[in-house]
Structure 1
Amino acid sequence: MPNEHVRLDAERLELLYSQLGEDSADDVLCRAMEEMAIRIKQSEKLYQAGSVRELRKTVHSLIAIADQIGLQTLARVSGDVVICIDREDWISLGATFSRLTRSSDQSLTAIWDLQDVTI
């Protein structure tokens, strides 16, 4: 099974914490993770149903959320999925969407692991 190496922008997280303070930044981070988990699950259902317009909208929304909390790989792969849909490249969409689900799992795990580390 393929494994994704996720990139986490630590500077983005440090900036978030320095701008908002620890409590507010923790709140933003938790809400972002929750929203991403919901949208990823929703995108899996949409992909299975073949609802590409709704899939595009849902995945596109992941880009901003992932970027906000420094999940560079997830933001980039989400953008790649949107490109595949825009080009109507269904074969590439299958492969890229699979990469998105792997990246999202590992990205969320990376954020959870950071909660044990002081930023």
Structure 2
Amino acid sequence: MAELARLRHDEGVRLDPDAMSAIYAELGERGAEKLISRATEDLAARLQDLRQCLADGKDAQFLRTARMLVQIGTQVGMTSVARVARDLIRATEAGDSAGRAAVLARLERIGQRSLTAVWDLHDMTV
């Protein structure tokens, strides 16, 4: 009888501490916390939007939302989010529906881990 293998997707995330430090230096503690809070809320909302766009067949909106994730990730130093969102854009533009589905699942995992990492980092600095 054949054995099935279970694959665990346990990929670490990358946060750019220099980007976070620059935000705090430029905006001060209160302004930086507002920006990071807004960015994390936007990230969570955009991840949900991607699934909805895919379900509704809204490819143009899907790409716009993926590009927003690149901007959000870059802005607050979530380098993994930005990189995988770029991969999602490339798969979508290439018409690779299987690749798009796989990269979207990866983006969702990394997005959730990045949100957790940002808040864990925030808790350590408070």
TM-score (norm 2): 0.89
- Describe how 1:32-111 pairs up with structure 2 within 5 A: 32-111=39-118
The count of residues paired between Structure 1 and Structure 2 equals 119
1:94 and 1:40 map into 2 onto residues whose CA distance is: 13
Larger radius of gyration: 2
Q: Which amino acid aligns with 1:114?
A: L
Matched, 1:17 2:17: no
Stretches of structure 2 lacking an aligned partner (at least 5 in a row): 1-7
1:47 and 1:101 map into 2 onto residues whose CA distance is: 13
1:30 and 1:104 map into 2 onto residues whose CA distance is: 14
Percent of residue pairs identical: 33
Q: Give RMSD over aligned pairs.
A: 1.2
- Find runs of 4+ consecutive structure 1 residues off by over 3 angstroms: none
**SS where residue 6 of structure 1 aligns?**
coil
1:86 and 1:101 map into 2 onto residues whose CA distance is: 19
Shift of 1:44: 1.4
TM-score (norm 1): 0.94
Does the 8 A contact of 1:7 with 1:71 survive in 2? yes
Higher relative contact order (CA 8 A, sep 6+): 1
Match of 1:30 among 16, 19, 37: 37
Stretches of structure 1 lacking an aligned partner (at least 5 in a row): none
Shift of 1:56: 0.8
Does the 8 A contact of 1:4 with 1:99 survive in 2? no
